[in-house]
Chain A
Amino acid sequence: MAAAWFRKPSILPGFGLTLGFTTFFLSAVVLLPLAALVLRTSTLTWSRFLAIVLDPRAVASYRLSFGAAMLAALINAVFGFIVAWSLVRYDFPGRRLVDALIDLPFALPTAVSGIALATVFAPTGWLGLKLAVAGVQVAYTWLGVVVALILIGLPFVVRSVQPALIEVQRDLEEAAETLGAGPFHVFRRIILPGVFPALLTGFTLALARGIGEYGSVVFISGNLPLKTEITPLLIVIKLEQFDYDGAATLGFIMLVMSFLMLFAINLVQAWGRRGQVAAGR
């Protein structure tokens, strides 16, 4: 019985089966390939490893990949919230249609969205033409990368925030109103705290998706080394040149950095939930 401390009798049967399946699934689909990646990287010498990691072209690609993903996720957090707000709080003609459109970027092959964006934002495209007049170029610059990632990440934020917004009780807002709070106060002190965990989740999902996004970005970014080249693309390029060491190493770096970022956000989330967990929620 020494190892049975975690097998407390439970009302729900099948604990052993489900845990076994979870472990197997995680191992086969997630851990094993990642382990192979780590193993492959560990065969390198330190100097070779550092050379690949600190290569100026690689460093520039990290900056673009993580920076653009972060920026796009932030923008999505704001505008995704507004979209979710108007879908939940207002009833307007075509609301259901808009609601359905939100999910489209999920379903569309990313290459299709990338090509569509490139067409629209290219200096000869509808929007690109107008923006060119204003002196702004989106396609084939880092801005294009951000635009692509906004498109890809929006549904994550909207779909995370929507249920949380529905949950915010109207009588809480009314209570705050009768206590003298204006619209800003009600939003800042009542609504936002209620949906913040969900907003953070949406932000995290959009960020994670943005870091790994490849298909839609490559068509609009222009892929200029040191300028508009994202890390996933660099990995593909290295693979095409049969530089498996380089590809594995960059993959490893992305893995570590993504993990650290997501872990940090999870910590923030756990900290934010602390009060509610203590309160038995």
Chain B
Amino acid sequence: MSIALDQVTKRYQAVPVVNDVSLKVEPGEFLVLLGPSGSGKSTLLRAIAGLTEIDHGRVALHGHDVTHVPARAREVGFVFQHYALFRHMTIGDNIEFALRVRRVKAAERRARRKELLRLVALEGLDDRLPAQLSGGQQQRIAVARALAHRPQVLLMDEPFGALDAKIREELRRTIRAIQRDLGMTTILVTHDQEEAFALADRIGVMHQGRLLECGRPDDLYTRPHTRFVSTFLGAANLLLGYRTPGGVRFTSRVASGEAVPREVVAVLRPEEVELSAAEDRVRSNFVGYGVVEEILFAGAVERLRVRMAGDGPVPVAPGREGTPDAGSLLEVSRTLPEQREFPVAARQRVAVGARRVHVLPTPISSFTAVADTAEAAQALHDSPLLSTLGTRMQTRVTTRLGRGERPPPGMPAVATGRGSAAAAEWQLQHGAAQLLCVPPTAPLPGHVLIHTLDRAARRATVAVAASLLRHVAAEAVYLGIHPTASAERERDEYMRDLLDARSAALTEHGLDMRTELRFGDFAEELGRELAVHGNSMLILGSSDPASIDWAWLGALLEGEPERPVLIVNAAPVDDGPER
């Protein structure tokens, strides 16, 4: 393993900018860390180079733990966004810097300098000063300089950020060729997805300090696990779908007597949308009728926006304009052959089909604030936690007056405080898969405690926790609590359970959480742990809501201090395969 990161965390003023990132990079691999600005990708890269001290976790290079090794002894090559060439030194001296520091003999230095200048195709510029070179040339020199001491790892922080498009592309090709030739393990940080696709063997997508997903570019594009990755890599229509035995459906209308289908988040790529004249002409799965609202010609492809009929698919994120009745707006892109086959004009009515739909494995689809009065429902809808979650997860938050016949699809939310225990009990007993109990004024939690009441609930609980924690920069602790009077053999088993939970969270959801094992009364231990942190949240899993000790949970929900509690009901539901 060339680079191994284990639970790396870096905080600035107590806010984690890199949050529990674990990652392994194979020798010779080109990994691109992709993310919007402020996602922590540069900080992570600097932590690998040793330019930033980390608060928690370990960094290993080639099997050696270098967590506490200073940057100068890590033997990495680092390329900065603004080149960072030494302006008072010639190009030759710049390249030889690492060798001079190591007291390499002059003849050897000169030979290496020549070799490197040839590598970046800038021979004969030895005696120039950096300011006499163009931006692209300067960055080539920076790459040559970073390679001079034959590091085994090359780290590049937005190396093309300051260059114009044409030079960027050329330099990109050069870098890729050099990296292949030398078999150099490389991590490059960028916010440009095109760049990531062009260079990467593997892409790691970062968001709010977390490494959300890491995988081959085509895998990430076709089978993303998270909302963020599905919309950050390429364009995507995120729709609320309903899983039925016949596949994913886009309308929630249920025939009487039919069970409520499970709500899911479906990704429909613009290029997977088929437009046709009528329903019977659609070759893929018919979605509904819509009206072409906008056509944009963009060279090779045509971009359209199609307004779907009011009873059509519901977007996960509520649109900025229009009421729900106006129908959702679908992004469509079509190639030239498709355009020739079925030309469309603005205002034209079209039948829409979906060639391929990818269902996100995320367990959280939408939120519904349930309350008895309109004011209470609105207050819950606007509560800091729920509204922030809605914005961050780009998901729909609706309100419902009164509990209705059965729980809403997606995740119901009720206010904590008086009467909340009864409301919560009703929701869970009538089949809600998850339930969020929200104090109307509580801020986002800084600390999330995860606990399951039985082992069967673990998988679902960890999945929900991971989905939530991707959008909340909080520290996660998975707490295992067992009776004090456990035998030694049982204790081993508990430990193994905990480790299993952790590795499942990591491998399946990319969630790196801490685990702690406690012995004692679970209510007492949970209470103590919750009291340690001011703004903590509890995620509680159970595979049998009927067995929950409601006296205890009721006291937790209705007592002081009020804190958010998310209850995961892992009771088996038959709704087909998970993915």
CA distance A182 to B73 in the complex (A): 9
B191 to A: closest C-beta gap in Å: 18
Contact partner of A279 among B77, B101, B132, CB < 8 A? B132
**Which of A166-174, A231-239, A240-248 lies at the interface with chain B?**
A166-174
Asked if A177 and B101 make an inter-chain contact with CB atoms under 8 angstroms apart, the answer reads no
Known: A178-B76, A179-B148. A171 touches B102 (CB 8 A): no
Asked if A178 and B131 make an inter-chain contact with CB atoms under 8 angstroms apart, the answer reads no
CA distance A172 to B51 in the complex (A): 12
Known: A169-B84, A171-B84, A175-B80. A180 touches B132 (CB 8 A): no
B166 interface residue per 8 A CB criterion: no
When C-beta atoms are compared, the residue in chain B nearest to A179 turns out to be B98
Contact partner of B80 among A174, A181, A194, CB < 8 A? A174
- Size bracket of the A interface: 20 to 34
B146 interface residue per 8 A CB criterion: yes
When C-beta atoms are compared, the residue in chain B nearest to A178 turns out to be B78
Asked if B149 and A177 make an inter-chain contact with CB atoms under 8 angstroms apart, the answer reads no
Asked if B72 and A182 make an inter-chain contact with CB atoms under 8 angstroms apart, the answer reads yes
Known: A177-B72, A179-B148, A181-B97. A275 touches B88 (CB 8 A): yes
B504 interface residue per 8 A CB criterion: no
CA distance A193 to B80 in the complex (A): 21
**Candidate in A169, A171, A179, A275 with the most chain B CB atoms within 10 angstroms:** A179
When C-beta atoms are compared, the residue in chain A nearest to B148 turns out to be A179
A281 interface residue per 8 A CB criterion: yes
Asked if B84 and A179 make an inter-chain contact with CB atoms under 8 angstroms apart, the answer reads no
Asked if A279 and B87 make an inter-chain contact with CB atoms under 8 angstroms apart, the answer reads yes
- Size bracket of the B interface: 20 to 34
A71 interface residue per 8 A CB criterion: no
Known: A171-B80, A174-B80, A279-B129. A180 touches B102 (CB 8 A): yes
B520 interface residue per 8 A CB criterion: no
Asked if B145 and A179 make an inter-chain contact with CB atoms under 8 angstroms apart, the answer reads yes
A11 to B: closest C-beta gap in Å: 24
* Chain A residues, Cβ within 8 Å of B356: none
Contact partner of B131 among A177, A180, A193, A281, CB < 8 A? A281
* Chain A residues, Cβ within 8 Å of B87: 276, 279, 281
Asked if A174 and B71 make an inter-chain contact with CB atoms under 8 angstroms apart, the answer reads yes
A48 interface residue per 8 A CB criterion: no
A130 interface residue per 8 A CB criterion: no
* Chain A residues, Cβ within 8 Å of B50: 177-178
Known: A177-B70, A178-B71. A171 touches B82 (CB 8 A): yes
- Could you tell me which residues of chain B, from 42 to 86, have a CB within 8 Å of some CB in chain A? 49-51, 70-78, 80, 82, 84-86
Asked if B78 and A174 make an inter-chain contact with CB atoms under 8 angstroms apart, the answer reads yes
CA distance A180 to B72 in the complex (A): 4
Asked if B146 and A178 make an inter-chain contact with CB atoms under 8 angstroms apart, the answer reads yes
CA distance A150 to B71 in the complex (A): 39
* Chain A residues, Cβ within 8 Å of B146: 178-179
Contact partner of A178 among B51, B86, B102, B130, CB < 8 A? B51
Asked if B84 and A194 make an inter-chain contact with CB atoms under 8 angstroms apart, the answer reads no
A40 interface residue per 8 A CB criterion: no
Asked if B101 and A178 make an inter-chain contact with CB atoms under 8 angstroms apart, the answer reads no
A185 interface residue per 8 A CB criterion: yes
* Chain B residues, Cβ within 8 Å of A94: none
Contact partner of A276 among B71, B88, B97, CB < 8 A? B88
* Chain A residues, Cβ within 8 Å of B74: 178
When C-beta atoms are compared, the residue in chain B nearest to A171 turns out to be B84
Asked if A181 and B88 make an inter-chain contact with CB atoms under 8 angstroms apart, the answer reads no
Per-residue A-contact encoding for B124-154, CB less than 8 Å = 1, 0 else: 0000011110000000001001101100000
Can you pick out 16 interface pairs between chain A and chain B where the beta carbons lie within 8 Å of each other? A169-B84, A174-B71, A174-B78, A177-B51, A178-B76, A179-B97, A179-B98, A179-B148, A179-B149, A180-B102, A182-B72, A185-B101, A276-B129, A276-B131, A278-B129, A281-B131
Which A residues fall within an 8 A CB radius of B? 169, 171-172, 174-182, 185, 189-190, 193-194, 275-276, 278-281
Counting from the closest, the 7 A-B pairs by CB-CB distance are A279-B131, A179-B98, A178-B78, A175-B84, A279-B129, A171-B84, A177-B71
20 new A-B contacts, CB < 8 A, other than A178-B71, A279-B131, are A169-B82, A171-B80, A171-B82, A175-B85, A175-B86, A175-B142, A175-B145, A177-B50, A177-B70, A178-B51, A178-B74, A178-B76, A178-B77, A178-B78, A180-B73, A180-B102, A181-B97, A182-B101, A189-B86, A190-B86
